[in-house]
Chains A and B, each alone.
Chain A
Amino acid sequence: MRTLAVSLLSATVLASVVGISAAQAAGQVASLRRLTQEEYRHSVADIFGKEIEIRGAFEPTIRIAGLQSTSTGILSVTPVGFESFSGMADSIAIQVTSEKLRGKLPCKPKSDKAPDDACAAQILNQYGRLLFRRPLTAAETKRAVNLSRNLGKSDFYNGMRYGLASLIQAPDFIFRSEYAVPAGNKQYTLDPYSRATRLSYLMWNSAPDGELLRAAEAGELSTQAGLSKQVDRLMASNRLEVGMRAFFNDMLELDTFDTVSKDSILYPKWSSGIAASAREETLRTTVDLALHANGDMRDLMTTRKTFLNRNLAAAYQLPYAFKGDWMEYEFKPDAGRSGVLTQVSMLSMFSHPGRSSPTKRGVALMDIFLCEPTPAPPANVDFSVVNETDGALKTVRERLMAHAGNATCASCHTHSDPIGLSLEHFDTIGGQRTTENGQMIDVSASLQGKTFSGAIGLGKFLYDNPKYTSCIARKAYAYSRGENSEDVPASAFKNAYKSFTDSGFRMRALLKAMVEDKDYFNAPAPETGSAPTKLAAQ
């Protein structure tokens, strides 16, 4: 019965969305997300070619509930941001219409020295469809053709420059809108083009390609079989790696590196080269496990396998004895390293410039891997006691313990510090140590009823913790929908999580089950009063 209902629903959706002249004319905008820098770059490269240079500043995003992608659904474009978008659009259009590259355009004008509306429309429609992730409306095409004709005057390609630039800086490209259409029974669902867009940015971190748009246009994304076929195609591509890099970069908060600085006197070894390499090391490790090895995502907490380049070999104090840029490396069993937890990235990002910080590490790792944010500290706290390094309190642990003795501090510190304290054998740049101010460092920890010791113990603790695997599923779900990870109910990704578990925590299983879940493309009912009054079928 349920199956029947679902297929009936699909049929309704199919009937209601095929043949619309303009998706946005019919649907209610359910979400509006500003493209991230990487989404923009990949989209332009895929639409116009990898040879197109993109130079310009992108407005920053902010991290909300552990994800930057969440902020894309809240941020707008400020004048500073638009100035940059506008300049980039023009620069891209200049390159696309340059003598060198214009041969790639889908048609040639009758003459370079005169307008040719038919050819202009063909070019603008082809690129417009890819940029807007839906066909242009007749009015949109007309406006861009007119602009090209009027500004190009006696130079067809100059005109195309302005016509294309107008599309590349349009909100329809800069924001990705998801349009909800009625699915009967007071339910709403995303229209096919919005489905294509969401899938494509999740899987490839880029705009939907021609085939995906074709499938959208043909209504295939609104049937289970059609959807499944496209999902398989997207996931079979190497470009899935681009999409997963973007996701893990966000989930692991690797953008934090953009503002990490280290004390050059205390840690002269640190360099911006190490920072960039450390970020890449973690991405390589993660993507290798998730995609190339199709491995168990729990291994991310415990694996000794990693990737090194010359910078990192120096940072880990390993001999650099290999050719090429990057080499796979496996730490020795007694090296004390445990997955990404002990990579230079995680250890250095969540530390102070001149010293490690169990609190910062604890707060970050609790949030990143267990989806357990730590509340902000109370307003009036006396921190002096934790800084008496010359006195009786020699290690950070002793200092923290002293201050967690205070009841107001304790509630949060007992929540976040244990993880950080277990990593105290690593300094602020990820180097190993066993003593602090002459005192042996105690790396034992007790958290949520479990006791463990050191990084290896922490790795095992997280490996065994279902909250960790559930957190990956939660973040992937929130990331792909641009939602606040803390507001997502566990029921929303329950089926996906089950498939993830059943598969032995394979990332591909999670992704596929998540996007093929019958509710994945559901959209909230439109705000009062603004619901479209007619079904999309015209």
Chain B
Amino acid sequence: MKMDRRFLLRGSCQGALAVMGMPFLDCFLDSKGKALAATGRPLPTRFNTFFFGLGLTKQLWIPKTGGKDYEMTSQLKPLEAFRSKLNVFSGLRVPLDDNPNFQHWSGVAAAATGISPTKQSEFDSKTIDQQIADVISHGTRYKSVSASAAGDPKQSYSSLGQANALPAEASPLSLYTRLFGPGFQDPTKGDWKPDPQIMVQQSVLSAVSENRKDVMKNLGASDRARMEQYFTSVREAELQMAAQLQRPEIQAKVAIPDAPSEAICNNALPNLRAVVPSMARLGALALATDQTRVFNLSVSEPGSQIFMPGDSLGYHQSTHEEPIDPVLGYQPRVAQYNVDTMELFAMLLKELDGIPEGDGTILDHSLVFAFTDQSFAKIHAVDGLPIFVAGGASGRMKAGFHVAGDSSPVSRVGLTIQKAMGVSLDVWGKGSMEIRQPYTDLLA
């Protein structure tokens, strides 16, 4: 039996609840709403990523001035409601050094790893969400959870490096089932108790791991690495089991809804508009109930195949084929798709900000890193990649700024985020993107 002292503590809290009939949440809250009562630990800060393909239109999204009082631009308009909780980064450089500009990929990899990639569709290291998950996800059921609103499990920009992309849940129903389906013990309910099956399953996993030495014999280097990954995954499943023996400490007052119905998940914009809020809501609930602390949502692949029914070109083809309007100076149809994706981003922020928790909302206790593949998709340009960081990281990140182009590499944002998330590191990125100086002004 692996029930530890903390489990018993919480068990007795639950016991008291049953006897005294008090609302169970109160027994977990401290008076200030900043920490968890049972352990006095601070609320966990969560991390999210939002991936959208094909960037934005330079003339329409970059505010004219830097700092806090910038004038809202037309493409950022959908984010207006979250302005005070949002940082906008423009003019970031993406130096690729000696590597090719892998179309619709180099920018993604640079933003997510601080490394110019050496292969199409593969990250050269763990992505930022996984680097952060290694630090913040101890004791949660899932180290991270990813979802693809367009319904493709491969549309995940969360990776353990190389070919080890972490597949995304590809419908609201599958996301729901993973998070709140069989095996989920609802911490918002008074009758929470650990499932005795968990300890049995832990023994099965130990038996699987015991074979490790034999299995690792006689493997060449690359196969050895793959087999190591398998056993790392077994180990993670064991940790996941251990986490489920403890009642998650939560503050948010939420109720887990019934399972959503099947939805059509594809690249058609009207479908995305229905699916994104649904997935975002489930992700927010997962964070609120501490099922995971890292949630990744993508709305398209790089080179977004999003299309508005009736538009035979669609988003990606438009970026390459739509002429630049000589009067406007940009591609009008592309510009509309740009705004559409910002609306999808706003849907995620709305759900995160819609769940009160302690002295703020889930968004206040999170960071959301939004990134893309191109700055000017028409010519596959990467310099000037639009990047957004939303949320307050439980007070560790200042927000509301437009950080105007100072020629910093895009990795500077990643370093700053990790500092705010409490990751202990001094340097991040490689080659010309190796950076030691975070945006200290943004760190509280």
Chain A contact residues, CB within 8 Å of chain B? 24-25, 27-29, 31-32, 57, 59-60, 62, 71, 74-83, 86, 90, 137, 139-140, 143-144, 147, 150-151, 162, 165-166, 169-172, 174-175, 179, 258-259, 261, 263-266, 352-355, 376-377, 379-384, 386-388, 526-527, 530, 532
Contacts and interface: CB of A to CB of B under 8 A. Distances in A.
Contacts of A75: 163-164, 226
Contact of B211 (A76, A81, A143, A165): A143
A215 B298 CA distance: 50
Contacts of A62: 121, 154, 163
Question: What interface size band does chain B fall in?
Answer: 35 or more
6 contacts: A76-B225, A79-B240, A147-B203, A166-B204, A354-B314, A377-B103
Nearest to B229: A76
A532 B240 contact: no
Contact of A266 (B163, B207, B223, B312): B312
A233 to B, nearest CB: 31
B396 interface: no
A32 B223 contact: yes
Contact of B174 (A57, A143, A383, A386): A57
Interface in B196-228: 200-201, 203-205, 207-208, 210-211, 214-215, 217-223, 225-227
Contacts of A527: 220-221
A144 B211 CA distance: 11
Given A79-B232, A379-B103, A382-B379, 10 more contacts: A76-B230, A78-B233, A79-B236, A83-B233, A90-B204, A266-B310, A354-B309, A355-B312, A381-B320, A527-B220
Closest 9 CB pairs of A and B: A354-B312, A387-B321, A383-B320, A82-B233, A261-B266, A76-B229, A76-B226, A265-B310, A265-B309
A78 B208 CA distance: 16
Nearest to B301: A259
B50 interface: no
A259 B265 CA distance: 9
Given A28-B218, A29-B219, A71-B163, A143 B210 contact: yes
Contact of A137 (B167, B214, B307, B309): B214
Contacts of B203: 147, 150-151, 162
A266 B311 CA distance: 8
Given A76-B164, A527-B220, A527-B221, A384 B324 contact: yes
Contacts of A379: 100-101, 103, 379-380
Nearest to A172: B215
B174 A32 contact: no
A377 B317 CA distance: 14
Contacts of A24: 214, 217-218
Contacts of A144: 207
B405 interface: no
Nearest to A85: B233
A77 B210 CA distance: 18
Contact of A263 (B166, B240, B310): B310
B117 interface: no
Contacts of B380: 379-381
A60 B214 contact: no
A78 B174 contact: no
B153 A60 contact: yes
A354 B310 CA distance: 7
Nearest to B102: A376
**Most B CB within 10 A of own CB, among A27, A59, A265, A383:** A383
